[in-house]
Structure 1
Amino acid sequence: MFSKLAALFILLITGSNYAQKIKVACVGNSVTFGYNIENRETLSYPAQLQTLLGNQYKVGNFGHSGATMLKNGHKPYWNQKAFKNSIAFQPNIVIIHLGLNDQGNNNWPEHKEAFIDDYLELISVYKNLPTKPDVFICRMTPTFSGHHWFEEGMRENFKDVQNKIETIAELAQVELIDLHEPLYRFPEYFPDQLHPTKEGALVIANKVYSAITKNFGGLKVSKLYGENMVFQRHEPIRVSGIANPNDKITVNLNGSKRVSSPGNDGKWQVVFPAMEAGGPYKFEINSKMSKDIDLDSVYIGEVWLASGQSNMDFKVKEMQGVETVLRDSINPNVFVFSMDPKILGSQQFSDEALTLCTSNNYFKYSGWTSNKIIAIKEFSAIAYAFASNLQKALKVPVGILCNAVGGSPTQAWISREQMEQTHETISLLNDTWFNPMVDDWVFKRKAENFGNRELSVRHPYDPTFLFDSGILPILNYNFKGVIWYQGESNTENSELHSRLFKMLVKDWRVHFKKSQLPFYFSQLSSINRPYWGRFRDSQRKLLDLEYTGMAVTLDVGHPTDVHPKRKWIVGERLAKVALAKTYHKNLNFSGPLFDYTNVVNNKLEIHFTYSNGLSTRGGGPVKDIQIAGSDKIFVEAKTQIVNDLLYVWSEDISQPRYVKYGYTSFTEGNLTNITGLPASTFSNE
């Protein structure tokens, strides 16, 4: 492939007056044609590709709306005038994007077995033209879940078609262009769920341009790479990026060297063996064709991700005891990195601000730092407390990245791949205004930001937006685990939140390629708002998920402030969970957790895990505890602690069955154990 293209380039570069233009035939369906794009003659993807390639090329648009690859499909491309014209064009390069219309139930179930053979035959037809063109085939642009056939088989059919296209590329030994990414992260470019706008067409044009010219913009690496970065110890160290395919990349780290050649898609990666903690080390990425990347100080240690909403984003400068922390607890071996939203708040977003509501432009990246007071003040208080306590215990460099976004609901952090798997979450995806599954506060904030304008952008709180903008860009960075503080924007429906939370944890483990990724979360604290007691109990039940842990914070809440200021305690508790469960340190990390109840005469006997030294803060009876009979009418209960068991009863209930503790939204629950850590809200309802 490269030799033929190279010959054409040489002919053009020599300046021959008789040099022929390189002909590019864009073969496809309505996406290639430019359906629904105003001024498609100048703004369809082939037209925009022509602009990118310049006058040395002649690009032909041979798209036909509704065309199928299948010969037995409802509108075979083979039978269309566009196909005949593409042959007559005698192209030097052919770009094939077909399959979207084959996925329909009127085509795929009956004829899918012929798809590979039909596609291979089409490739062969073009390859055997007198011009012997280079043929590229494309992974299809997305079909989004708002399409009326999506849940009627199209979702599964689409995946099947994509898989077959990848097989075809291998069988035919042709280059594959991925048009699914990054367009899958821009649903706003697909107003009818299938056809891209001019902006989406430009994305396609850029992808095809890079495939043809092998120009990917030179050496590019993650925005997380920089001075004072931390690599995860004791695990293979993967360094990756983008470069032009004819480049040679050499990476030097801690005295070791690895070399990589970018693939046809521009991607490259080198892998170093697992290393012990240490640093600072020099880190160099050398390119044969681009400017090198030379870093003087990188470290190897422990790396964690801190995420969620405003209580995780809550700054060091705002927490209780900040003066003491800044005086005594700045840790030069803790390296912090912030991803902060460029636009957030209750104001109506300006037109300029709305341009930031895209998955590739929403966050600003701070870079890594360890001892700059200004940066520490602006960093997450909980994340810094967590990392500092971790570092003191482990005695290694600790890197912590925070990308929390105030007010964000759980569904904003889940990928589209995962959200499109259930009818419930598909409903969330495609009805983001006043959906009864969305907390009132969330859509009211969206209304404040967007006003009455009809907009084609997504809101930061919309499902998948923060995954696309805040998680996808960091997936190639290796994190040991995640700490999470979120839920305030999902309290109105705790059952839905539980399903979404489980979905999120599974989703991140799949995308980070770590099936046992530790995920430690903070239970919501106390405040006088509806549902918070019930919600805290639902969070407790999420501990059934493997490799999770929870820091109870009901004792450090505030009756009216949703942002209580005793954040160092929360970070410290999360660190204890991580030290015990991930690093296997022998320490107490949990208050009492409800296990089960027995009925003993007219009392309930309540058993806990982590019950050693079961007691109450300050002595006295257990507060905020109630029992009920089978009628579930709860009354205040009397209590007694004997041998780390809690006995609960009421003279008004002769046959007790149910118990609730800490269910008041702002609770004064005082149950604890030998650690002094609080018991979680619980119920056996």
Structure 2
Amino acid sequence: MKNKILYIVVFSLILNISIWGQETKTIKVACIGNSITYGAGIKKRNKKSYPVQLGSMLGDNYDVRNYGFSARTLLSKGDHPYMEEDMFFDAIQWNPDIVIIMLGTNDSKPQNWKFKDEFVADYHRMITAFDTLSSKPKIYLIKVVPVFQTRWGISDTIVKNEVNPLIEKIACEKNLQLIDLYTLFIGKAELFPDYIHPNARGAGEMAKEVYKQLTGKENQLVNQGKLKSSEYHYLRGGLKKSFIKFEQKNKVRVAFLGGSITYNGGWRDSLMQYMQKRFPKTEFEFIAAGTPSFGSTEDVFRLKRDVLMDGNVDLLFVEAAVNDGGKGRSDEEIKRAMEGIVRHVRNISSTTDIVFMYFVDPAKIEDYRQGKIPQVIKNHDKVAEYYQISAINLAKEVTDRIDAG
């Protein structure tokens, strides 16, 4: 298992270090929803949920992310309101170019639908949250799928006669494109084994329809045999500045700052070998600044001594997500330490590229399997998003690849 994980790490890093120096425009697609979006009940959902299949259809120029959260409601007074979850704020912070909203199924439960008079206002509030983003995303609303048998209080009568007509009305009022998945699945109960959630083929049919509405083109169900490493890499500012230096300068400096994962080499050594092979005319000075058990707080205090003593570096990898997760430090302390690293490096040289590394550990695997983003990764990525730092989420990729077999 350790060898398999190391292979995944090295392969992902080498694959993406080779493309991050290129000028690319990735269209970010956020799929907002409940367990139907999440892929509940689908074997190997990490390869066959509707957002994953949609991403495969759209291709490498799109980054499609699954923001499905089981049991969640659109209604703010529902038993599990989506807009009160961290996932909702994560989706907003991501600043997507396209937003696809599929909520309303769980709202049909009696304890939730008693607040039906607030459904339109709450939906408007969610739309506004995305509509005011700097990315100015295109927003799509989905008429939710049929309920083939009342379960868990979910009612097709309410979905068909009340929820979906309100969603259609909202789309018309806000001049948003409507995707009708209800009509698409009438008479197709065989695609919903538990009468509520689609199977893999049903999710594929959903993806096909969404793809058609997004692009105006037809598509076929795709082979989900492989996960794309690019889905776990957050390009942001990229590595263009450092790659230009690698191609034009005679000598460059690359540093690796982290704990025992960095100290022990492996991924670090493989990247060093790759860069030397990729730029044979360039002389590399590699700084291995890994210290076992150290996290971001310790790193920020030793940064000048261990990395910047002889001047700025051209490319810096920062690995602290594993040790930060077990140090008992507050969220604020972790964010301040990561920000301190970034600001100190950028104060010396604004042209230094930085990459945050989110390595895997058992706690992170468990969080992702429960549909949660590990808190330490959220802390690191908040800093990365603000400063447009590239990041590689190996914790999520390793989890998905293990679960996919």
User: Which TM-score band applies after superposition, normalised by the shorter structure?
Assistant: 0.3 to 0.5
Structure (1/2) with the larger helix percentage: 2
More contact order relative to length (CA 8 Å, sep ≥ 6): 2
Bigger Rg, which one: 1
Structure (1/2) with the larger strand percentage: 1
TM-score, normalization by structure 1? 0.28
TM-score, normalization by structure 2? 0.47
